[in-house]
Homo-oligomer: A and B are copies of this chain.
Amino acid sequence: MKKHLISSFILLLAFSCFASAQEPISPITVPQGLNSGKVELGKKLFFDPRLSKSGWISCNSCHNLMLSGTDNLVSSIGHQWAQGPINSPTVFNAVYSIAQFWDGRARDLDEQAGGPIANPGEMASSHELAVSVLQTIPGYIDEFAKVFGGEPITIDMVTDSIAEFERTLVTPNSRFDQWLAGDEDAMTEFEQDGYRLFKLTGCAGCHNGPAAGGQAYQKMGSFNRFETNNPAIGRQAVTGLRSDRMRFKVPTLRNVELTYPYFHDGSVKTLEEAVDTMAWVQLNRTFSRTGNEKVVAFLKTLSGDLPRIVLPILPPSGPDTPAPQPFQ
Contacts and interface: CB of A to CB of B under 8 A. Distances in A.
A262 interface: no
Contact of A49 (B55, B64, B260, B313): B64
A276 B313 CA distance: 29
A61 B258 CA distance: 22
Contacts of A81: 80-81, 326
Copies of this chain, tallied across the complex? 2
A124 to B, nearest CB: 12
Interface stretch (A1-9, A66-74, A217-225): A66-74
A310 B313 contact: no
A269 B323 contact: yes
A316 B53 CA distance: 31
Contacts of A270: 319
A200 interface: no
B77 A54 contact: yes
B260 A317 contact: yes
A323 to B, nearest CB: 7
B319 A313 contact: no
A308 B311 CA distance: 7
Interface residues of A, number: 40
Given A257-B316, A306-B313, A317-B260, A77 B56 contact: yes
A101 interface: no
A9 to B, nearest CB: 42
A61 B56 contact: yes
Contact of A73 (B48, B56, B73, B310): B56
A168 B236 CA distance: 52
Nearest to A44: B66
B55 A71 contact: yes
A67 B309 contact: no
13 contacts: A49-B71, A54-B77, A55-B72, A56-B73, A66-B311, A66-B312, A66-B313, A66-B314, A257-B316, A261-B323, A270-B319, A306-B313, A310-B310
Given A55-B71, A67-B316, 12 more contacts: A54-B77, A56-B73, A65-B311, A66-B311, A83-B327, A258-B316, A261-B323, A269-B319, A306-B313, A308-B310, A310-B311, A311-B311
Interface of A: 47-49, 54-56, 61, 64-68, 71-73, 77, 80-81, 83, 257-258, 260-261, 269-270, 306, 308-314, 316-317, 319, 323-324, 326-327
